[in-house]
Structure 1
Amino acid sequence: MFKHWVRQLARRFSLVFLAATICLFAGGAAHAAIDVNTADEAALTSVKGVGAATARNIIDERNKRGPYKDAADLAERVSGIGPKSVAKLQDAGLAIGPKGAAAAAPAKAAKAAPAAATKPAR
């Protein structure tokens, strides 16, 4: 009887643990920003709303005319994506233009700022 109770308890806790783990991984993936100017096709298709054909169109246009400056530039240059679609893609985790590149810049700037502040002014 005691063994049965222990097995049932272990099974319930393992299911709760599994559900919590899935929620953590799903939540982490939803908040990861994908930079449209550096992402490959697999990364672009991981954004909700971007299929394989759209990802190829984004990459082809980026290779032809260079990086995207902003959301309006992406909407104008890629067929099948309009301003409303771009807004939804940004909500789903797509980073465009300077905002995408600026995600890594604050960490570098924070390291460089204290060094510059310690130099005496002459």
Structure 2
Amino acid sequence: MNKVFLLLVMFFAFTGPAYAVVNINTATQAELETLQGIGPAKAKAIIHHRKKKGSFKSPGNLEDVKGIGPATMKRLRKDITVGGTTTLKKESRSAIR
């Protein structure tokens, strides 16, 4: 019984951080705005950049967008991806409706 409980606790501890991920190649402006430090202007700049230059090849390419530098990337790296689907935290979903 204790082993099952410990296994469940470990499962939820390691799946929590992976729960909120924004695909910067497909995210809407509202989804991009859920990222820490990304407001309407930067979200629009990201969308404009990917429309003009194409998909981001890696999360680090986000630094090519004007206004996004190393400090912003350090903050965002764990929350962004260039593949898969965007998955938002429950509290973030209500913010985009």
Normalising by structure 2, we get a TM-score of: 0.62
Identify the match of residue 53 of structure 1 among 23, 31, 41.
41
Is 1:94 paired with 2:80?
Answer: yes
Higher relative contact order (CA 8 A, sep 6+): 2
CA change 1:73–1:29 in 2 (3 A) is: closer
Count how many residue pairs are aligned between Structure 1 and Structure 2. 71
Query: Closer, same or farther in 2 for the Cα pair 1:33/1:47, shift >3 Å?
Result: same
- 1:68 paired to 2:56: yes
Alignment-derived partner of residue 15 in structure 1 = none
Q: Distance in 2 between matches of 1:36 and 1:50?
A: 12
Max Rg structure: 1
Listed one character per residue, the Cα deviations across residues 69-111 of structure 1 (whole Å, up to 9, x for unaligned) are: 1133210x201101231121123x222x3xx3399xxxxxxxx
Gaps of 5+ in 2: 1-15, 87-97
Three-state SS of the structure 1 residue aligned to 2:71 is helix
Aligned-CA RMSD value:
2.6
Show CA shifts across 1:38-65 (max 9, x none). 0010000011111000000000000001
1:90 maps to amino acid: R
Amino acid of the structure 1 residue aligned with 2:49: E
Residues 59 and 80, structure 2, Cα contact 8 Å, conserved in 1: no
- Residue identity over aligned pairs, in percent, reads 37
Given that 1:71 and 1:83 are in contact with CA atoms closer than 8 Å, whether structure 2 keeps it comes out as no
What's the TM-score, normalizing by structure 1? 0.50
Structure (1/2) with the larger helix percentage = 1
Q: Is the 8 A contact 2:23 2:84 kept in 1?
A: yes
